[in-house]
Amino acid sequence: MNDPTPVTGPADRARPLTANPGPADRIFLAWARGSGALVLLVMLAVGGYLAVRASDALSTAGWSFLTTEDWNPDGGRGQFGIAAVLTGTVLIGGIAVVLAVPLALGSALYISEYAPRRIKRLLVGLVDLMAAVPSVVYGLWGFVLLQYELAGAARWLATWFGWFPPFRMVGVDVDDPLNPPVVYTASSLMAGIVVAFMITPIMCSIMREVFDQAPPGEREGAYALGSTRWGMIRSVVLPFGRGGIIGGTMLGLGRALGETISVYLILSMQFEIKLQILQTGGSAVAPMIALRYGDSSPFAISALMAAGLTLFLLTLVVNFAAAAVVARSRSGASS
């Protein structure tokens, strides 16, 4: 008798969840979007303006810009190029990264795995502080003190490992005991060492953050299977943190490539491709800009802009690669 068919009302439909924002919210949204757009504009303007100003020099120089070693923009086509400075930049960055990776890896492992719990926070603070020390302080330290302290070590390397091409000295008799230590200073190696100490803290803090996130279950599993602490690190922490290690290293490389002031102070600039890292003289893009920005002619400035654009693109590529590696790793982008 009772008809069980339910009463059919109007069909249920998903109600729209967006409400009409009031005037305050509309102003807020416009403000937020506007500030985002402004920041985007500034960031694009840096690259865009460099590119526009550089076009003059680039169109004059053509491909010779990439192959010329000398830097004499007023000499015209074929007289200026980034072959030497770019090689020098990559060389110094490479030295810095090679030295900084073991330092950063070791100290990150110490802080995350070995340090007593009490001092861990203090150590993290110290590493962060080291990252905040201005580059001119590192530069002063390297310029006045470190390169003379290490000149003896450089001489030793040149004497015993001179057969290894980067350690060869050209035009200097390494066996002459009367050589002043000055021939071993102001070299790419010294600049690289100082830059290495500058980039170690940032690499260390990225690696430590990733190591700290290694899952405790897996750590305990490794211990339960009889692993030593180092065995646990090798089988759990390092594989887990591989993305962080690679990403942190590349971020450090990006920093090293753009380092200006400490390299300017230490390196004596020579516009030729120089692969002998122990010998005085070398070159890099960023110090060259600081050295030559006072050049009067507009064309010389345009050439500098072209060099700056190259540096910009190089650091951008390195950074994007680093971000991609970190984001793809198991630990993910932590910060």
Nearest alpha carbon to residue 60 among 82, 80, 83, 86: 80
Choose which of 125, 215, 239, 332 interacts with other proteins (CB under 8 A).
125
Residues 76-95 that bind other proteins (CB under 8 A): none
CB of 147 to other proteins, least distance (A): 13
CB of 38 to other proteins, least distance (A): 7
10 Å CB burial of residue 238 (0-12, 13-18, 19+) is middle
CB of 68 to other proteins, least distance (A): 21
**Among 79-87, 102-110, 173-181, 183-191, the segment contacting other proteins (CB under 8 A):** 102-110
Residue (164 or 230) nearer to other proteins, CB: 230
Find the helix or strand (DSSP H, E) in which 319 lies.
Answer: helix 298-328
Residues 224-263 that bind other proteins (CB under 8 A): 228-231, 233, 251, 254-255, 257-261
CA distances from 93 to 79, 90, 190, 263, 328 (A): 26, 5, 12, 11, 25
Binding of other proteins at residue 137 (CB under 8 A)? Answer: yes
String marking each residue 169-198 x if it binds other proteins according to CB under 8 A: ----------------------------x-
Q: Which positions ≥6 away from 7 have C-beta within 8 Å?
A: none
DSSP character at residue 166: G
Binding of other proteins at residue 24 (CB under 8 A)? Answer: yes
Residue written as token pair 């980039």:
199
DSSP character at residue 11: P
The size of the interface with other proteins (CB under 8 A), counted in residues, is: 94
Binding of other proteins at residue 273 (CB under 8 A)? Answer: no
CB of 196 to other proteins, least distance (A): 10
Residue (29 or 182) nearer to other proteins, CB: 29
DSSP character at residue 246: H
Binding of other proteins at residue 328 (CB under 8 A)? Answer: no
Choose which of 58, 265, 267, 277 interacts with other proteins (CB under 8 A).
265
CB of 22 to other proteins, least distance (A): 6
> Is residue 77 within 8 Å of residue 58, measured between CB atoms?
no
Q: What is the spatial distance between Cα 121 and Cα 132, in angstroms, rounded to a whole number?
A: 17
Nearest alpha carbon to residue 189 among 110, 321, 304, 282: 282
Q: What is the spatial distance between Cα 242 and Cα 233, in angstroms, rounded to a whole number?
A: 12
Binding of other proteins at residue 98 (CB under 8 A)? Answer: no
Q: What is the spatial distance between Cα 264 and Cα 191, in angstroms, rounded to a whole number?
A: 9
> Is residue 282 within 8 Å of residue 92, measured between CB atoms?
yes
DSSP character at residue 220: H
**Among 59-67, 68-76, 170-178, 297-305, the segment contacting other proteins (CB under 8 A):** 297-305
Binding of other proteins at residue 293 (CB under 8 A)? Answer: yes
Which pair of structure tokens corresponds to residue 240?
């887990």
Choose which of 70, 78, 79, 126 interacts with other proteins (CB under 8 A).
126
Choose which of 59, 62, 76, 145 interacts with other proteins (CB under 8 A).
145
String marking each residue 30-69 x if it binds other proteins according to CB under 8 A: -xxx-xx-xxx-xxxxx--xx--x----------------
Choose which of 7, 17, 132, 170 interacts with other proteins (CB under 8 A).
132
> Angle, nearest 10°, between helix axes 298-328 and 83-109?
30
> Is residue 78 within 8 Å of residue 68, measured between CB atoms?
yes
Binding of other proteins at residue 332 (CB under 8 A)? Answer: no
Choose which of 82, 95, 111, 158 interacts with other proteins (CB under 8 A).
111
